[in-house]
Amino acid sequence: MKHVCIWAFAAAMLLSGLAPTAAFAAAAPPADYDLPSGHFYTQTNGAASDPSAGYSVTDEGGIQMWSEFQRLGGVAALGYPVSRRFQANGFIEQTFQKNILQWQPDQQKALPVNVMDLLHDAGADGVLQADSQIPPPSGAPADAGKSWQQVQQAHLKLLDFPNAGFKTAYNSVPDPLATFGLPTSAITDEGASYTIRLQRTAMQLWKSDQPWAKANTVTLVNAGDLAKQHGLVPAGAMQPESGRITTGAAARTPWSGWWWPSLDGGNGPHLFDAGGPLAKYDAYVRALGQPDPHTRQWELDHFQFNDAKLDWAGKCNGWAVSALAEPEPTKPQTVNGITFSVADQKALLADYYFADPAAFLVGRKETGGVKAADFQRTILDYVGNQHQGLVINAFTGADQVASFAVYRFQATYLPDPADANKTHVRMTIWAADYHVDPNFVGLKNWPDNHLKTYTYFIFGDRANPSGGEWEGDSVAGTFAHPENLWSPDLAPADRNKFGALTSPNLDYSVIQKILKGA
C-alpha cells in the first residue's frame, strides 16, 4: 500500500529530533470552566501571580465535593471556593466564601461546618465583634436539661424581631438547620445593621442602603473567609492551584479546501483534468503571450496514478500549508477571458505549496507516531506561544495519512491522584478539514463540530514535560494519535528540496495575479 500525501516533507523526518524550547504564554482561559469531574474557578485567586490559577471543586478520588456543592446550592448559596481540599479533624474539607464543607464518608455527603462555633472555640469572638460587628454567642437560652425539640424552639425564638427579615431569610432555604445551624446570639444593634450570629454564619439586616445591599435586606457574612482569616484553614490549602486549562490560537485561521487526489477514477476532480485548474493556468499564461508552461502535462507525468496497489494518494498537505499561509479565495475570478472558480484557485495554491518541505517536524511513523510529551510541547509552543498554525498528519495506524491545518487548542489538566509529578491531559484541537466540496468557502472543522480530542499523561512541567504516554482512545485505532506535527518551510529556495513535487513552471506571481483578478 502506498500514498503520496506526505512526500513533500518525507526527507525532513531527519529533523524530528529537534524540539521547540520557547516559553509558553497561554491565552487567557475563561474565569471558570468545566473539568472532567467538576469545575475550576479563578474568581478568588487573590494576588496570585498567575491569573489562570484558582481552585477546583471536583468529585476526584471518590470524594464528591463537586456534586455536593451543586446539591447545596453552588455559588449562589456557598460562594466561590477559597481553598483547595485539606484534612481537618479527620475529615476532608474545602472552604468556600460562605462556609466550609466537610465530607462525611459514612453518609457519602458533604455537610456545612459550624464555622462560627469553631471561631468561638478559637477565641476569635472579640476580633469578630470589633472588625466584623458580629456579636459573641449569648449565654441564653440555656440548653442543659432540655430535649432537642425544646433546644431548637428556644434558639429559633432568637429570630423574633419587629422586622421579619431574619425569619424570612432563615426559612428561605429547604433545610435551614442544615444550612445555617441554630441561632446562637440575640439580635444586636451594630450601628449600620442589626446582626444575629448562628452556628454556621451570621445574618445582617441593613438599616440603610449599602453598596452591596438595599435597606431592610438581609445578607450572610462570608463565614468561610472569616475561617481563613482566623487560622481555621491550613496555609497550604489557601494557595491557588495552577489553572486546569491552557488555551492558544494561531494568528491566522485557515480555510477548508479539496485534497486534489492523484488517482485516476471517480474520486473527485483532479489537478490534471482536461479543463481543470492546471489546464486553465496554462491557457492563462499563453494568453499573456508567454510560452506554454505545460504544468498540466507535468502533473500527468508525475502525479497521475492508476496503480492497483496505490489505494490513496493526493495533495492534502499542500492544501493544509496553503490554508495556513494564504487568504481564502472566496469568489470566481475571470482573467483574460478565463474563469477560475474558487476550486481552481484553491487547487493552484495547494499544488504550489505541495513543494514546501517541513522546517520543523516531530514524530515518526516507524516509532509509532509522535510521542505524547512531544505533542504537548509542540502544540503549546507553536500554537500557544508563537501563534503559528501547524500541519497535523493523522494516520490510521497503517500507511494512509491525512493532513489537517491546526489553528487552536484547549488542554484540560487532571492531576494524577497517586503521583504528584504526573498529569493527565485532554487536548482538544481545532483543525481545518478537506472533506468538502471543491468550491466550498469557509471553514469545516475536522472531524466534525465535536472537534478532535487526544488523551495522554505527561510528567513534570506542562510546557516542557520530561515524558508521557498516550492513554484511552488515543493509544491505538483509527486516527488514535498523530503520526507527526510539522511547520512548513516557506522559503522559495527550499521548494522541491526533496524531489520534484510541483512543476517548476508553476509561478507564484502568476497565481497571485489570478487570485486578484489582475
Ordered by start, the domain boundaries in the chain are 7-17+247-516, 32-115, 135-220
| pLDDT confidence of residue 240 | 93
Determine the distance from the C-alpha atom of residue 209 to the mean position of all C-alpha atoms in its chain, rounded to a whole number: 42
Q: What is the mean pLDDT of residues 100-104?
A: 97
> What is the number of other CB atoms lying within 10 angstroms of the CB of residue 320?
33
Which has more confidence, 499 or 203?
203
Q: What angle do CA 476, 479, 480 make, to 5 degrees?
A: 30
Are residues 277 and 328 in contact, defined by beta-carbon separation less than 8 angstroms?
Answer: no
pLDDT over 90 percentage in the chain: 80
Largest Cα–Cα distance in the chain? 112
pLDDT for the residue 509: 97
C-alpha span between 343 and 440 (Å, rounded): 8
CA 94 to the chain's CA centroid: 25
Region of residue 158 (phi > 0: left; psi between -120 and 50: alpha; otherwise: beta): alpha
DSSP lists the bridge partners of residue 246 as 411
Cell numbers describing residue 24: 509558553
CB 301 within 8 A of CB 251: no
Beta strands in 100-147 (DSSP E): 100-104, 109-112
Supply the pLDDT for residue 16.
35
Strands (E), 309-451: 333-335, 338-340, 358-362, 390-395, 401-415, 422-432
Q: What average pLDDT does this structure show over 77-90?
A: 95
Average pLDDT over residues 93-116: 97
Other Cβ atoms less than 10 A from the Cβ of 365: the count is 18
| Confidence band of 21 (pLDDT split at 50, 70, 90) | very low
Rounded to whole angstroms, how far apart are CA atoms 387 and 383?
Answer: 5
Residue with cell 444575629: 196
Q: Give tens-digit pLDDT for 446-503.
A: 999 999 999 999 999 999 999 999 999 999 988 999 999 999 999 988 898 888 999 9
**What beta strand segments (E) does 37-187 contain?**
38-41, 55-58, 81-88, 91-96, 100-104, 109-112
pLDDT band at 30 (very low <50, low <70, confident <90, very high): confident
Residue 13, pLDDT > 70, answer no
* pLDDT of the residue at 349: 98
**Angle at CA 277, nearest 5°, toward 276 and 283?**
90
What pTM, to 2 d.p., does this model score?
A: 0.77
Please provide the average confidence, as pLDDT, over all residues in the chain: 91
Evaluate if residue 4 carries a pLDDT over 70: no
Residue that is written with C-alpha cell 516559553 in the block? 23
Prior bond to 261 cis, omega within 30?
no
Q: Which long-range contacts (CB under 8 A, 24 or more apart) does 265-270 make?
A: 265/306, 268/438, 269/343, 269/347, 269/438, 270/304
Chain center to CA of 403: 22
Model confidence at 308, in pLDDT bands (50, 70, 90)?
Answer: low
Look at residue 142 in the predicted model and tell me its pLDDT. 79
Pairing, β 467-470 against β 193-197 = unpaired
Residue 478 has what pLDDT? 86
> Which helix (H) or strand (E) is 317 found in, with range?
helix 316-325
Q: How far apart are CA 69 and CA 74, in angstroms?
A: 5
